[in-house]
Amino acid sequence: MKHTVVILIAAMVLSSCSKPKQKRYQASSPDGNIEVDFNVNNQGEPFYLVAFNNKAIVDTSYLGFDFVNVKSIKDNFKIINSTASTFNETWRMPWGEQEDVVNHYNELRVELEETSELNRKVNLVFKVYNDGIGFRYEFPEQPNFKEALIAEEQTEFNLTEDYKTFWIPGDWEIYEHLYSTTKLSEIDAISKRNHPNLAQTHIPNNAVNTPVTMVGEDGTHLSFHEAALVDYSGMTLEVDTENLNLKSVLVGSENTKHKVKRKVPFHTPWRTLQIAENAPELIESKLIINLNEPNKLEDISWFTPMKYTGVWWEMHLGKSTWDLASGKHGATTENVKKYIDFSAKNNIGGVLVEGWNTGWSEEEGGFDFVTPYPDYNLDEVTRYANEKGVEIIMHHETYGGVDTYIKQQDSAYALMKSLGIHTVKSGYVFTLSPKGEYHHGQFMVNHHNNSAINGAKYQVAINAHEPIKATGLRRTYPNIISREGLRGQEFNAWAEDGGNPPEHLPIVAFTRMLAGPIDYTPGIFNIKFDKYKPNNQVNTTLAQQLALYVVIYSPVQMAADLLEHYEANPKALQFIKDVGVDWQQTKVLNGEVGDFVTIARQERDTGNWFVGGITDENARTITVDFSFLNDTETYQATIYKDGENAHWNDNPLDLDVETVNVTKDSKLTLNLAKGGGFAISLMK
Ligand code: NOJ
Ligand code: CA
């Protein structure tokens, strides 16, 4: 008997030796639903695959680099080592969509070495979460590779289905495009060149910018992006419409052959793929921010999330101007004091002042970030704001003149510090100087990151317009508070193409918003503004404008309209007065990409809840289930909803406000108008 067992075991060992099984390099998500496989093929080419619920999502996809001076990294590799590990922590957001964030993943680290003469080394690191994957390349210190002049990154995502795709073109200059909804195989980014309302645009490939979101036949939702974009250039994804393949195309520069220059050792940003069973899960995913390093700033208590008004929409409507010479200058001491009074009276923390400094007209010879126009008394305005408990938000428009801004940045930040101003809105509209650089190349990635690091020294938090894309760096530098990087509300004031259509924000919530906070500037009450621009308007109902304070996340949230338009509608203004801006928790109650979304957020400190829902050009009925309240309290719910005859174009101001009591057992059915929405405040 004993013998038989020994023989049996020997036979098993022998048979497994005679048919050597190839070793698998694998990692799965903690819940087991997502699986990543990595290996090198017979030519030594590294590749990976991703499966979700046992179905291939990413088929064999190759990885590599081209350089301007040395041979590509793409084949003749062997695996010299691999390690697997698990990580699980909960970290705290100083401000954000929620207070506690779970960061739980399984990691696979594979070390590769070239078998050919240079013996270069590269490590592939995969982190597999329940809500998706991130992977990056790490180049360790090594004798035959000291500096990388990257001509192109060759990262593939070989997809297995012709997804319904929500995309903007892979523009190296600007993210302010309308989204298109097409099949993956029908993406035509080139047709988006030369939009008349974009100050600068450059779309060299049939590529898309990220986040790009896709919906599959079986309801699987994917979104591709990147995390921790540091000292590298932004990645667009070129679309092979025939083979349903995405491939990285880095943003380049006209000044160098390489797109990225790095000293070895270094690592790339994370290439990310969020994977969800439904649309709401995409918004709740914390993959991008989790892939960033923990907070490096010692103290961020000097920044407080706030709502703000501003000398801003009046310029976009043409009521006043940024420059002085027009005779209609907006940023006067007297005018700004009115905004301060209004903010103080309405529980709004800040006032943005654009057009305060010299340089807005050509004759003035460039922007100066420390010299106010003569009709604007900066000291008096900040003193007055202080007295009223309101913060002034500084404005630094560069017009793309980054080289001169870099020279002035220290004195500009020092002035802010001396005045106790902690927030700046910066702007990079128009083509850049240094000439030949693009808004999303390595030069600008470094400029934005350096500005944040420098800003922290002066206790300055940054809300950039025409920014680099958000990649979750707010975790590491929480003074990166918000940004534009999408087609904002301003387009409704002047775009010649009719402005942002009703489907715009129901797409943005599941695309751009996955990257990070958005300075969309909601709250336009005077939807048609015929007095100023009879050919333009906002393409939503008033109720939807209120909903945006909850749906669109930002720690600085503008009440963008003119004061007189708010004063004329105290009933609707009450919601802006009440709504929170910093959240304990967020629950996405329902939604479909491009159609509608409902989000509930609980305010930190007060525990009050706010709910916002928006729809596209279709009217629809939404039932809000209040089981998220999760306590036994009765809340007083004030509901701001589309009136019976509301319609984004025919009757946008038809708003009903009603107050009822709700508990966690309540359900409420709401009718959303075409282009409409609803907002609910729930106070204990
Ligand atoms: C474009 C920005 O998006 C807008 O908010 C700002 O008012 C103008 N540039 C002027 O700086
Ligand atoms: Ca802009």
Instruction: Give the number of the atom of ligand 1 that is nearest the alpha carbon of residue 484.
Output: 3
- Look up the CATH number of the domain holding residue 108: 2.70.98.10
Instruction: Give the number of the atom of ligand 1 that is nearest the alpha carbon of residue 316.
Output: 7
Residues with CB under 6 A from ligand 1: 312, 354, 397, 427, 429, 465, 484, 488, 490
CA of 465 from ligand 1 middle (Å) equals: 7
Instruction: Give the number of the atom of ligand 1 that is nearest the alpha carbon of residue 395.
Output: 11
Instruction: Give the number of the atom of ligand 1 that is nearest the alpha carbon of residue 521.
Output: 5
Alpha helices in 346-441 (DSSP H): 378-387, 402-419
Place of tokens 């990645």: 235
- Structural domain boundaries, residue 273: 3-290
- Taking a C-beta distance cutoff of 8 angstroms, is the pair 663, 633 a contact? yes
What is the model's pLDDT at position 23? 86
What is the model's pLDDT at position 6? 39
**428 in any annotated domain:** no
**461 in any annotated domain:** no
Q: How many domains does the chain have?
A: 1
> By alpha-carbon position, which residue is closest to atom 8 of ligand 1?
427
What is the model's pLDDT at position 11? 39
Rounded-to-10 torsion of CA 550, 628, 575, 352: -30
The beta strand positions in 46-131, using DSSP E, are 46-52, 55-62, 65-67, 77-92, 100-114, 121-129
Within 10 Å of residue 389's Cβ, how many Cβ atoms?
Answer: 10
d(CA 124, CA 48): 10
Q: Which ligand is nearest to the CA of 521?
A: 1
Residues facing 661 on adjacent strands: 636
**401 in any annotated domain:** no
Q: Which ligand is nearest to the CA of 560?
A: 1
Instruction: For 263-286, give one letter per residue: b (16+ CB within 10 A) or e.
Output: ebebbbbbbbbbbbeebbbbbebb
Token pair for 469: 């894309």
**346 in any annotated domain:** no
Which uninterrupted H or E stretch holds 8?
helix 2-18
CA of 233 from ligand 2 middle (Å) equals: 21
- Give Rg (Cα) of the chain: 26
CA of 609 from ligand 1 middle (Å) equals: 32
Catalytic residue among 161, 466, 490, 503: 490
What is the model's pLDDT at position 630? 85
Task: Let me know if 281 is a catalytic residue.
Answer: no
- Taking a C-beta distance cutoff of 8 angstroms, is the pair 73, 7 a contact? no
Single out the residue of 228, 70, 41 nearest to residue 142, CA to CA.
70
Pocket mutation for ligand 1, best pick of 490, 500, 521 (most atoms within 8 Å of C-beta): 490
Instruction: Give the number of the atom of ligand 1 that is nearest the alpha carbon of residue 315.
Output: 7
Pocket mutation for ligand 1, best pick of 173, 465, 486 (most atoms within 8 Å of C-beta): 465
> By alpha-carbon position, which residue is closest to atom 3 of ligand 1?
465
Token pair for 545: 């404008």
> By alpha-carbon position, which residue is closest to atom 10 of ligand 1?
397
**604 in any annotated domain:** no
pLDDT tens-digit map of 170-188: 999 999 999 999 999 999 9
CA of 550 from ligand 1 middle (Å) equals: 23
Instruction: Point out the residues of the chain with pLDDT beneath 70.
Output: 1-21
pLDDT tens-digit map of 268-288: 999 999 999 999 999 999 999
CA of 197 from ligand 2 middle (Å) equals: 10
Pocket mutation for ligand 1, best pick of 314, 317, 429, 521 (most atoms within 8 Å of C-beta): 429
Q: Which ligand is nearest to the CA of 174?
A: 2
> By alpha-carbon position, which residue is closest to atom 6 of ligand 1?
427
What letter would DSSP give residue 606?
A: T
The beta strand positions in 173-286, using DSSP E, are 180-183, 207-208, 212-215, 221-227, 235-240, 245-250, 260-263, 266-267, 270-276
Instruction: Give the number of the atom of ligand 1 that is nearest the alpha carbon of residue 312.
Output: 7
> By alpha-carbon position, which residue is closest to atom 7 of ligand 1?
312
CA of 632 from ligand 1 middle (Å) equals: 46
What is the model's pLDDT at position 125? 99
CA of 313 from ligand 2 middle (Å) equals: 13
Q: What angle do CA 291, 294, 296 make, to 5 degrees?
A: 135
Q: Is 22 exposed, middle or buried (0-12, 13-18, 19+ CB in 10 A)?
A: exposed
pLDDT tens-digit map of 583-598: 999 999 999 999 999 9
**Residue 233 CA, distance from chain mean position:** 16
**417 in any annotated domain:** no
> By alpha-carbon position, which residue is closest to atom 11 of ligand 1?
397
> By alpha-carbon position, which residue is closest to atom 2 of ligand 1?
465
- Taking a C-beta distance cutoff of 8 angstroms, is the pair 503, 594 a contact? yes
Residue type, 526: N
Q: Which ligand is nearest to the CA of 396?
A: 1
Phi, psi of 143 (to 5 degrees): -70, -35
Global pTM reads: 0.96
- CA distances 658 to 633, 644, 655, Å, are 20, 13, 10
d(CA 436, CA 662): 58
CA of 553 from ligand 2 middle (Å) equals: 18
Token pair for 85: 């590990």
**90 in any annotated domain:** yes
Q: Which ligand is nearest to the CA of 485?
A: 2
Single out the residue of 629, 601, 609 nearest to residue 97, CA to CA.
601
CA of 175 from ligand 2 middle (Å) equals: 9
**31 in any annotated domain:** yes
